């Protein structure tokens, strides 16, 4: 058989002989080596396989396993898309904490909602919980810290983006020769309130960083903390309150409605960029305020008390500081924290400038609280009864004007009507002595909302202006001051509305000279007896003329919680109106924030 196998295997007899001559020991060693090699190869294959598999697992799992750490990030809506883009890359990279993968989920949340949800100091809606918070401004974080203490969150000191405040104007409108300053942005005196100028629009400061910062920047430019500056602040706030939008979308709509209108919208660079993307048919031209501006700084806030979640938050924070993440911010219309912009996004032809504008400091928490309270006080609709003196002395001429006291008073009163929001309720009395049978006072217009329709189809506001233009003094009339004060106070008490600021405004040029009226002491006693701390009705008196005795007027003002102003020049009544309005800010001015 061996020969047969040998023959079938080939004709080389020498080869066969060599195989036959191998020693038995060598053959066994070769077989053992073969089996060892096979086992080694199999083991190596297993090791390689395990190695490849292990590399694959490590490569796809980032060195972490088990239950993921969910990182909830609440961010200002306009920066959310860019953050979600970064988060998607972060999540696929599978960064890990203590062997657990981190998954960041970014959702949009208004900064005001988060702030008021934490502090309870204002209107909040929606889910305000998150592990990380990225508001659009440190102003919100400072408000939270002020109201909730240092344990409310950890400020990482990182700003993930920035966006300075700018002024957006319809591109078709006439451009000014000079950049406006914050001080000159809005009227700051009674005479300026009716002037033809740019309408300045902003988003409600109670809910918007841009609106909130605008108040602070305008107030800071005015220097309104002293008594002289407070009326200027009132004029500025009144002007701003006429053109307030509830949110960014409403502000965009207002700006786009009249492309040729002379109006300005205060908003961030990024918001202006977004507006132009959405309104290519009615784009805005961008301008930067003279003297510098404030920039939204998008701080990264860690709100978690769980150490592992805080480590996860730190990983995501670090991711946001990398160049790829910062590029995503610039592509979305933001600047980096140090002010770098993408010139292909914030383009020069739209008015954007490549360099960061001069920066003004973040408004203090005290200023923000004081100004938002002032804003809310002035926004609260008034319910005002105005009483005008029609005694004979109102016919006296005012030197240098060509008008008498009544003409000047009526002119100032019509101007003062523009201070009131549309929802305010106003009425009008006139007074002298015995002009209404035995009464010293008479109703001219009942108290109604300014937009209410009255006889003839006119509004209450139009009817009041008509009454002021036609009112005439009683040539022989005297001044029945004290009886009128008391009657007006009782009427306002009887019809009091708790959702409004109820007040009386007296305009007079004389002292009480009705011999049949109550005395000053009797009036003071009755006002003290009939007043109520839960139904305050301040009395404001503006008296003009050289013979005014201010003491009785001051006494009435003090009892009622109002104020009294005297001047020899009726032409100053307009600015005195602003001083009277500034009394509504008095409780705020004395607060510490």
DSSP for 257-305, written as a single string: H-TTS-EEEEEEHHHHHHHHHH-TTS-EEEE--BT-B-EE--EEEE---
Q: Per-residue pLDDT for 590 more than 50?
A: no
**Most confidently predicted of 1-5, 122-126, 198-202, 310-314:** 310-314
- Claim to verify: residue 246 and residue 307 sit in the same structural domain: no
The pLDDT value given to residue 581: 66
Pair (180, 54) in one structural domain: no
Same domain, 291 and 415: no
**Position 574 pLDDT exceeds 80:** no
- Domain shared by 197 and 148, yes or no: no
**pTM over 0.75, yes/no:** no
Q: How far apart are CA 269 and CA 271, in angstroms?
A: 5
Burial state string for 498-515 with b = 16 or more CB within 10 A and e = fewer than 16? eeebbbbbbbbbbbbebe
pLDDT higher than 50, residue 44: no
Is 547 in contact with 524 (CB distance < 8 Å)? no
| Mean of pLDDT values over 44-61 | 37
pLDDT range class, residue 390, cuts 50, 70, 90: very high
Collapsed DSSP state (helix, strand, coil) of residue 161: coil
Q: What is the CATH number of the domain that holds 254?
A: 3.40.190
pLDDT in tens, 318-338: 999 999 999 999 999 999 999
Considering the domain boundaries, does residue 347 fall inside one?
no
Q: Is the pLDDT of residue 59 over 50?
A: no
Whether residue 350 lies inside any domain: the answer is no
Residue entry with tokens 């150490």:
307
More confident residue, 592 or 499: 499
The pLDDT value recorded for residue 327 is 97
- Residue 139 in tokens: 């102003």
CA distances from 317 to 132, 162, 340, 585 (A): 9, 16, 19, 42
Domain annotation covers residue 21: yes
Tell me, what's the pLDDT at 35?
46
Mean pLDDT computed over 363-387? 87
Say if residue 484 is exposed, middle or buried (CB neighbours under 10 Å; 0-12, 13-18, 19+).
buried
Mean pLDDT, rounded, for 47-55: 38
Same domain, 424 and 477: yes
Q: What is the pLDDT of residue 586?
A: 55
- Please name the residues in contact with 103: beta carbons below 8 A apart, sequence gap of 6 or more: 68, 69, 70, 71, 91
Structure-block tokens of residue 272:
């202006």
Asked if 475 and 555 sit in the same domain, the reply is yes
d(CA 477, CA 473): 8
In angstroms, rounded to a whole number, what is the distance separating the alpha carbons of residues 12 and 287?
100
Give the integer Cα–Cα distance in Å for 480 and 22: 146
Q: How many separate domains does the chain show?
A: 4
What's the burial of 468, exposed, middle or buried (CB within 10 Å: 0-12/13-18/19+)? buried
Asked if the structure places residue 228 within a domain, the reply is yes
Percent of the chain having pLDDT more than 90?
54
Query: What's the pLDDT score for residue 226?
Result: 61
Task: Please name the residues in contact with 125: beta carbons below 8 A apart, sequence gap of 6 or more.
Answer: 113
Map tokens 């908003």 to a residue: 267
- Residue 96 or 132, more confident: 132
Instruction: Determine the average pLDDT of the residues in 562-579.
Output: 77
**What gap in Å lies between CA 222 and CA 560, rounded to an integer?**
30
Whether residue 23 has pLDDT greater than 50: no
Q: Residue 324, class by beta-carbon neighbours within 10 Å (0-12 exposed, 13-18 middle, 19+ buried)?
A: exposed
Distance set, CA 368 to CA 22, 113, 145, 216, 223 (Å): 102, 16, 13, 7, 15
Q: What is the pLDDT of residue 582?
A: 66
Instruction: Report the alpha-carbon distance of residue 154 to residue 240 in Å, rounded.
Output: 35
Question: Which residue is listed with tokens 């400020």?
Answer: 155
pLDDT for residue 371 is more than 80: yes
Tell whether 419 is covered by a domain. Answer: yes
Is the pLDDT reported for residue 262 higher than 50?
Answer: yes
Whether 285 and 306 map to the same domain: the answer is no
Let me know if residue 89 belongs to a domain: yes
Q: Are 340 and 554 in contact (CB under 8 A)?
A: no
Q: How far apart are CA 264 and CA 168, in angstroms?
A: 6
| 368 part of a folded domain | yes
Predicted confidence band at 55 (pLDDT cuts at 50, 70, 90)? very low
What whole-number distance in Å separates Cα of residue 232 and Cα of residue 185?
12
Does residue 525 register a pLDDT over 90? yes
**How would residue 310 be classed by pLDDT, with cut points 50, 70 and 90?**
very high
pLDDT band at 56 (very low <50, low <70, confident <90, very high): very low
- List pLDDT tens digits, range 101-140: 999 999 999 999 999 888 887 766 667 899 999 999 999 9
Q: Sorting pLDDT into bands at 50, 70 and 90, what band is 192?
A: low
Q: Is the pLDDT of residue 208 over 80?
A: yes
One domain for residues 184 and 246: yes
Which of 6-20, 217-231, 232-246 reaches the highest mean pLDDT? 232-246
Q: What is the mean pLDDT of residues 251-264?
A: 81
C-alpha–C-alpha distance, residues 252 and 208, integer Å: 14
340 domain residue, yes or no: no
pLDDT over 50 at 19, yes or no: no
At 329 the pLDDT is 97
Residue 102, helix vs strand vs coil: strand
The confidence score (pLDDT) of residue 30 equals 42
224-238, 403-417, 571-585: which is most confident: 403-417
Statement to judge: residues 508 and 550 lie in one domain: yes
List of residues 6+ apart from 525 with CB closer than 8 A: none
Beta carbons of 440 and 514 less than 8 angstroms apart: yes
Mean residue pLDDT across the chain:
83
Q: What's the whole-number mean pLDDT along residues 160-187?
A: 84
Residue 589 has pLDDT above 60, yes or no: no
pLDDT band at 94 (very low <50, low <70, confident <90, very high): low
Q: Give the tokens for residue 471.
A: 């009112």
Residues 454, 448 contacting (CB under 8 angstroms): yes
CATH number of residue 448's parent domain: 3.40.50.410
Q: What pLDDT shows up at residue 228?
A: 66
Question: For residue 255, which of 194, 199, 300 has the smallest C-alpha distance?
Answer: 199
Q: What is the CATH number of the domain that holds 322?
A: 3.40.190.10
Mean pLDDT across 255-283: 89
What domain range is 50 assigned to?
A: 2-61
The verdict on 18 and 98 lying in the same domain is: no
The three-point CA angle 74-76-78 to 5° equals 130
First vs last C-alpha separation in the chain = 112
| Same domain (yes/no): 268, 389 | no
Residue 151 — very low, low, confident or very high, per pLDDT cuts 50/70/90? low
Give the residue, 421 or 182, on which the prediction is more confident: 182
Distance CA 394, CA 548 (A): 13
Q: Which of 79-93, 371-385, 427-441 has the lowest mean pLDDT?
A: 371-385
Residue 73: pLDDT over 90: yes
Q: Are residues 154 and 172 in the same domain?
A: no
């Amino acid at each position: 058989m061996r020969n047969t196998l040998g023959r079938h295997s080939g004709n080389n007899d020498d080869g066969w002989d060599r195989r036959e001559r191998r020693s038995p020991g060598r053959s066994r060693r070769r077989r053992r080596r073969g089996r060892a090699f096979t086992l080694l190869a199999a083991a190596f294959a297993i090791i390689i396989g395990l190695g490849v598999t292990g590399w694959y697992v490590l490569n796809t799992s980032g060195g972490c396993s088990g239950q993921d750490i969910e990182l909830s990030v609440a961010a200002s809506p306009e920066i959310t898309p860019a953050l979600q883009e970064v988060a998607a890359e972060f999540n696929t990279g599978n960064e890990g904490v203590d062997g657990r993968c981190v998954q960041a989920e970014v959702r949009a949340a208004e900064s005001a909602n988060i702030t008021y949800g934490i502090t309870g100091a204002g209107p909040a809606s929606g889910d305000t919980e998150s592990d990380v918070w990225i508001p659009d401004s440190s102003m919100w974080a400072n408000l939270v810290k002020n109201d909730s203490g240092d344990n409310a969150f950890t400020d990482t000191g990182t700003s993930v983006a920035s966006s300075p405040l700018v002024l957006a104007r319809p591109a078709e409108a006439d451009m000014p020769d000079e950049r406006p300053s914050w001080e000159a942005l809005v009227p700051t005196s009674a005479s300026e309130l009716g002037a033809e100028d740019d309408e300045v629009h902003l988003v409600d400061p109670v809910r918007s960083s841009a609106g909130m910062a605008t108040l602070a920047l305008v107030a800071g430019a005015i220097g309104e903390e002293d008594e002289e500056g407070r009326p200027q602040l009132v004029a500025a706030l009144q002007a701003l309150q006429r053109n307030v939008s509830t949110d960014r979308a409403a502000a965009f709509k207002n700006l786009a409605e009249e492309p040729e209108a002379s109006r300005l919208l205060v908003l961030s660079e990024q918001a202006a960029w977004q507006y132009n993307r959405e309104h290519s048919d009615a784009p805005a031209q961008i301008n930067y305020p003279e003297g510098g501006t404030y920039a939204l700084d998008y701080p990264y806030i860690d709100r978690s008390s769980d150490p592992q979640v805080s480590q996860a938050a730190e990983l995501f924070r670090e991711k946001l500081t990398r160049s790829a993440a910062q590029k995503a911010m610039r592509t979305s219309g933001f600047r980096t924290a140090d002010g770098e912009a993408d010139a292909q996004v914030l383009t020069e032809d739209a008015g954007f400038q490549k360099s960061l504008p001069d920066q003004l400091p973040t408004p203090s928490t005290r200023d923000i609280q004081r100004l938002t309270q002032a804003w809310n006080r002035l926004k609260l609709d008034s319910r005002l009864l105005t009483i005008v003196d029609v005694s004979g002395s109102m016919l006296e001429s005012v030197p240098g004007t060509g008008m008498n006291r009544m003409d000047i008073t009526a002119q100032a009163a019509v101007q003062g009507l523009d201070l009131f929001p549309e929802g305010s309720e106003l009425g009008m009395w006139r007074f002298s002595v015995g002009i209404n049978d035995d009464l010293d006072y008479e109703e001219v217009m009942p108290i109604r909302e300014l937009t209410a329709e009255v006889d003839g189809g006119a509004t209450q506001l139009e009817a009041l202006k008509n009454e002021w233009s036609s009112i005439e003094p009683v040539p022989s009339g005297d001044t029945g001051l004290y009886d009128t004060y008391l009657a007006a106070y009782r009427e306002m008490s009887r019809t009091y509305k708790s959702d409004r600021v109820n007040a009386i405004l007296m305009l007079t040029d004389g002292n009480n000279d009705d011999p049949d009226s109550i005395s000053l002491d009797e009036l003071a006693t009755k006002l003290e007896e009939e007043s109520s701390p839960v139904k305050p009705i301040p009395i404001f008196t503006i008296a003009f003329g050289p013979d005014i005795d201010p003491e009785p007027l001051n006494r009435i003002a003090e009892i009622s919680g109002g104020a009294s102003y005297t001047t020899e020049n009726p032409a100053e009544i307009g600015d005195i109106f602003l001083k009277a309005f500034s009394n509504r800010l008095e409780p705020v001015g004395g607060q510490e924030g």
